[in-house]
Amino acid sequence: MNGTTGKRLAKNTAFMYIRMFVLMVVSFYTSRIVLQQLGVDDYGIFNLVGSIVAMFASLRIIFASSTQRYLNYELGQGNAQNLQLVFNLSIYINLLIGVIFVLAVEALGLWFFTHGINIAPGRMEAAFVVFQCATIIAAISILTSVFDAVIIAHERMNFYAVIAIVESLMKLGTAYLLSRAPIDKLIFYGLLLLGVSVVVLFINLIYCKWHFQEVKLRLIWDKTYFKQMTQFAGWNFLGNTAYAVTQNGINMVLNVFGGTVVNAARGIAFQVSELTKQFLININTVMTPYSIQAYAGGRHEDFQKAVFVSSKILFYVQLMLTIPIVYLTPWLLQLWLGQVPDYSVVFLRLVLCITLVRSVHGPLDTVFKAKGELKYYQIAEGVILSLPLLLGYLVLKAGAPYATVFVCCIAMEIVNLIVMLILAQHIADFNSRAYTRSILLPSVLCLVCAGGLFYWDLQLTPIWQQILLSLAAMGACSAFWWGIMLTRDERRQLLSLIPYYHAKSKCRER
């Protein structure tokens, strides 16, 4: 990675983290208002039938990666004339996926509303309207992901950050409007969110049309390219949707056994988890164009180094977010919500553990996307990550605590990570042994250290002692990560991104 590339990545990362900081503050405040306006039961209903909105909001960037992969590949090989072909074929493919998705979700929703849902009979109509709004929002997100891909492929992270902030502020506005709802608040909230998604789609479309030559709708067709992109997008959609459907299926299972109060607790836990996950997505979003262009340009050593470095950074960032939240969960939830739904504390801690295990998923996913071989990887992931749905139902039916469902998810995430490494070595000639030695094993040691201090944290009562212990755990893990996990060259590269050290290194060169 040369100096110019490093500066570009640092600048893009800065834009993404400005975006993330504003989104985090606005989202937490919005959730507090929505919970107060809807109440625990209606908030639980929204997180049960409306969780598809959150699911596709978080997966939008993942669906965009299919288009982004081909755009970056053509950019890496200097084939500018193929960019318009990629864009138009992506529109066709995403429209097809959107139609299939709506039909599948409507069929599943019909069965669930007829047989499986556990909510008060008087709220059934409102829940059904919110479900329809959520389905349309998800379909719009699938189409919007094409424009996200174009923006990211061209590394316009400044606009990407701005539009995300505008979207979050519009959602905050919808929360404030709930106090003046002319109709049922739950229905009104679903309709407002639908309006926000339509506005965001049109803003993205107009920006891309003005700034990128390839964004022109044309009747362009290439059978070979269409087949190749359809297979790639189809497998990518299948694998990621299997994961998302499982997570929302677990929400439905929790509803069957625990009702809407448990759904509210799960909704709180996943909102925090999704916000921390956005930090990971931001880093991976910045690194992916560089990684795929390096692979397309034949720089396979640079590509593998990028996967290693991004994995280490992603694990560290998620660990630094997880430690203070897990150590201080009861106090933070009370400070944030005021009214804390039952089970929220244990759910949040376990869901963050799932996210921590999954933190290196993005870079490993890039290995398969760069190679263009997704079939066997996505089949394996789809099967493995669907198992918690069945296991969760069985353990709850046997009388186990609700939190056991999330323990099953953690176990299956670990299995999935192992399988990914095995397939990466066989399919993409990736050095999985070196990855395990330099990343996974040190990460386990870090987690053992943090876990030991957390056990001590549970014995403490004063909040100031818990804060000090969480800071000590973060310091110990940071020292281990910097001194043991990073190589000397990686430390030098990271320091070079800091303006002071970059200027100092320039002086030494002179």
Tokens of 438: 């330099």
Closest CA to 145 of 102, 77, 208, 83: 208
User: Is residue 304 very low, low, confident or very high in pLDDT (cuts 50, 70, 90)?
Assistant: confident
Least confident of 43-52, 87-96, 364-373, 488-497: 43-52
pLDDT digits (tens, 9 = 90+) for 40-57: 778 777 777 766 555 555
Supply the pLDDT for residue 175.
86
User: How many degrees, rounded to 5, is the angle at CA 394 between CA 393 and CA 397?
Assistant: 85
Separation of alpha carbons 64 and 351, rounded Å: 25
What pLDDT does 505 receive?
Answer: 47
Please report, rounded to a whole number, the percentage of residues in the chain having pLDDT higher than 70.
85
- Contact in structure between 255 and 266 (CB atoms under 8 Å): no
Phi, psi of 201 (to 5 degrees): -60, -45
* Integer-rounded Cα radius of gyration of the chain: 23
Q: CA-to-CA distance for 291 and 223, rounded, in angstroms?
A: 27
**Predicted TM-score (pTM) of this structure:** 0.70
Q: CA-CA distance, 432 to 63, in Å (whole number)? A: 26
Spatial separation of the C-alpha atoms in residues 146 and 148, rounded to whole Å = 5
Q: Which of 295, 141, 304, 146 is nearest to 214 (CA)?
A: 146
Tally Cβ neighbours within 10 Å of residue 457.
21
CA distance 177 to 324: 33
Q: Distance between CA 115 and CA 123 in Å, rounded?
A: 15
Would you list the DSSP string of 362-414?
HHHHHHHHHHT--HHHHHHHHHHHHHHHHHHHHHHHTT--TTHHHHHHHHHHH
* Cα 430 off chain centre by: 24
